[in-house]
Amino acid sequence: MIQVGVVMGSNSDWDVMQHAAKQLKAFGVEFECKVVSAHRTPDLLFQYAETAAERGLTCIIAGAGGAAHLPGMLAAKTTVPVLGVPVPSKYLRGEDSLLSIVQMPKGIPVATFAIGEAGAANAGLFAVAMLAGGKPELAKQLNDFRETQKQTVLDMELPEVE
């Protein structure tokens, strides 16, 4: 059964959003990826959000750029948690995307991540952490990931000063 939905406003967001999908795949989480746009396919957006809970989605990772209404509109139509990823935009470097996603009115929350790749990857890791609550095996995988990451940093070396 699909546990996490990864949606984005356009296939041009894939370069960034694939980093969320890669994390989910690495942890063996069942997920789906789909283009859904609040602006261009509003009926599909409503249908996706309205069926998310009955389909058993634990959360929806939603990435969009520019006037990034997708995460907020999904959150408006479902109580399934929405994790918003601001995709870098061509002219305003994604600051427009970030502000569009983060400034939700009280009552309709969207958990907003960093602009770009790191935000997408962290949204994937956050979804894993949410699922890990009830799954000891997944929790162990997540702890192992952190341990490996820690070791990588501890092993880092800096060049000699010339």
Is residue 56 left, alpha or beta, with left meaning phi > 0 and alpha meaning psi from -120 to 50? left
CB of 31 to ligand C2R, least distance (A): 19
Q: Which is nearer to ligand C2R, 37 or 141 (CB)?
A: 37
According to DSSP, the residues that pair with 86 across neighbouring strands are 64
43 is in an annotated binding site: no
Tokens of 87: 């995709």
List of residues contacting ligand C2R (CB under 6 A): 8-10, 12-13, 37-40, 64-70, 87
Is residue 10 left, alpha or beta, with left meaning phi > 0 and alpha meaning psi from -120 to 50? beta
CB of 45 to ligand C2R, least distance (A): 7
Dump strand ranges (E) for 25-81.
31-35, 59-65
Alpha carbons 23 and 98: distance in angstroms, whole number: 21
Q: Which is nearer to ligand C2R, 87 or 132 (CB)?
A: 87
Tokens of 74: 């999904």
13 is in an annotated binding site: yes
User: β-pairing, 82-87 with 111-112?
Assistant: parallel
Q: 87: helix, coil or strand?
A: strand
CB of 152 to ligand C2R, least distance (A): 31
CB of 5 to ligand C2R, least distance (A): 15
Q: Which is nearer to ligand C2R, 35 or 139 (CB)?
A: 35
12 is in an annotated binding site: no
User: What type of residue sits at position 152?
Assistant: T
Q: Which is nearer to ligand C2R, 7 or 128 (CB)?
A: 7
Instruction: Detail the residues annotated as belonging to a binding site for substrate.
Output: 10, 13, 40
Binding site membership: which residues? 10, 13, 40
